[in-house]
């Protein structure tokens, strides 16, 4: 069953350039950050309890911390008002041979060289695609995995 779209979907002609839409996104991000922080704190308290699966809880906490980091970066981007196009157009790191090389950010964000190669081969995300994202649906998908 597909959830109905709410009235907060961006107008394709305005999207992230709309101050009102950006404010709504910021509110949603703040709520998501708060939920993630509470979940991390709860897991941290639960790890020391007898009979818990510590390995599983550590893995969950690690995933939540990674998601929290991404949300905080997204929040900073919204607050600073950085245009996504200028971020995409920044020049990639280059080696002496002129080929792209992995940056520190690539090492931190990607789990393997295979994942790096997969994303390196993909085209950049277009502004139109960003403007069509349903944040509520994305949040649901993140929490259902």
Q: What gap in Å lies between CA 65 and CA 9, rounded to an integer?
A: 28
Whether residue 2 lies inside any domain: the answer is no
What are phi and psi for residue 30, nearest 5 degrees?
-60, -40
Packing angle, helices 135-144 and 19-47, rounded to 10: 10
Whether residue 7 lies inside any domain: the answer is no
Whether residue 1 lies inside any domain: the answer is no
23 exposure class (CB count in 10 Å sphere: 0-12, 13-18, 19+): exposed
Q: What gap in Å lies between CA 30 and CA 49, rounded to an integer?
A: 30
Whether residue 56 lies inside any domain: the answer is yes
As for how many domains the chain has, the answer is 1
Q: pTM to 2 decimals?
A: 0.48
Per-residue pLDDT of the chain (145 residues; tens, 9 = 90+): 444 455 455 454 456 677 788 888 888 999 999 999 999 999 988 888 888 898 999 999 999 999 999 988 888 888 876 444 344 444 444 444 445 666 666 666 777 778 878 888 888 888 888 778 888 888 888 887 6
What is the domain extent for residue 71? 17-144
Whether residue 128 lies inside any domain: the answer is yes
Q: What gap in Å lies between CA 138 and CA 133, rounded to an integer?
A: 8
- Would you state the pLDDT for residue 65? 92
- Would you state the pLDDT for residue 36? 92
- Would you state the pLDDT for residue 32? 92
Block residue for tokens 């950085």 = 82
Decide if 137 contacts 3 (C-beta within 8 A): yes
| Count of positions (residues) in the chain | 145
Q: How far is CA 109 from CA 56, 59, 65, 90, in A?
A: 21, 16, 12, 18
Whether residue 4 lies inside any domain: the answer is no
Whether residue 76 lies inside any domain: the answer is yes
Whether residue 103 lies inside any domain: the answer is yes
């Amino acid at each position: 069953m597909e959830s109905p779209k709410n009235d907060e979907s961006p107008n394709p002609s305005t999207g992230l350039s709309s101050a009102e839409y950006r404010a709504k996104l910021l509110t949603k991000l703040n709520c998501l950050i708060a939920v993630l922080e509470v979940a991390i704190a709860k897991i941290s308290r639960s790890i020391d309890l007898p009979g818990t699966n510590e390995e599983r809880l550590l893995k969950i906490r690690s995933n939540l911390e990674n998601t929290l980091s991404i949300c905080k970066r997204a929040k900073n981007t919204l607050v600073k008002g950085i245009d996504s196009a200028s971020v995409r157009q920044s020049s990639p790191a280059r080696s002496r041979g002129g080929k792209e090389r992995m940056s520190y950010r690539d090492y931190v964000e990607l789990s393997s060289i295979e994942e790096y190669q997969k994303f390196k081969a993909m085209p950049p995300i277009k502004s139109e695609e960003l403007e069509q994202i349903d944040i509520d649906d994305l949040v649901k998908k993140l929490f259902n995995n």
